[in-house]
Amino acid sequence: MSNTPTQRHRTANPYESEFGYSRAVRRGPFIFVSGTTSIDPATGAVQHPESAFRQAQAIFAEIVRAVEALGGKRADVVRVRMFVTADEDSGDVGRAMKEALGEVAPAATMIVGAKFVSPEMKVEIEADALVLW
């Protein structure tokens, strides 16, 4: 596997260039999606600062786009890690995951009590995918 090329997917999210990371990286059959928030790449502003549910919807859509950009599919998502600032938002974030990934039913972890780089961010989500065919 040492000769397997690494593919990177980058977006216009300002944090990617500022901190030097990729939205997602593929090596062999594995795709790793970085912690993703609801930042609007055009403005750098947090989308939907009032709603953890809407932030999570936007985040899951971005995660699926990143997986697809590297040759995967929504169904290839096998692991999700959700970080939420407040306990009262955990149900909304879980519902957004079910809406986005439903029958995929990936392994999942949710951690409540996170603190992010912007106080408007309520949710950050990471994902891993495995592309076998």
CATH number at residue 120: 3.30.1330.40
Is 106 among the domain residues?
Answer: yes
Q: CA-CA distance, 103 to 76, in Å (whole number)?
A: 11
Is 35 among the domain residues?
Answer: yes
Is 101 among the domain residues?
Answer: yes
Structural domain range at position 75: 6-130
Question: Which residue bears the tokens 């603190």?
Answer: 115
Say what the pLDDT of residue 13 is. Answer: 84
Q: CA-CA distance, 105 to 79, in Å (whole number)?
A: 9
C-alpha closest to that of 55 among 102, 121, 111: 121
Say what the pLDDT of residue 93 is. Answer: 98
Is 23 among the domain residues?
Answer: yes
Is 1 among the domain residues?
Answer: no
pLDDT under 50: residue ranges of the chain: none
Is 66 among the domain residues?
Answer: yes
Is 41 among the domain residues?
Answer: yes
At 109 the three-state DSSP class reads strand
Structural tokens at position 124: 């950050």
Say what the pLDDT of residue 32 is. Answer: 99
Please tell me the total count of domains within the chain.
Answer: 1
Q: CA-CA distance, 56 to 118, in Å (whole number)?
A: 16
Q: What is the pTM of this model?
A: 0.93
Say what the pLDDT of residue 2 is. Answer: 66
Say what the pLDDT of residue 92 is. Answer: 98
Is 85 among the domain residues?
Answer: yes
Say what the pLDDT of residue 51 is. Answer: 98
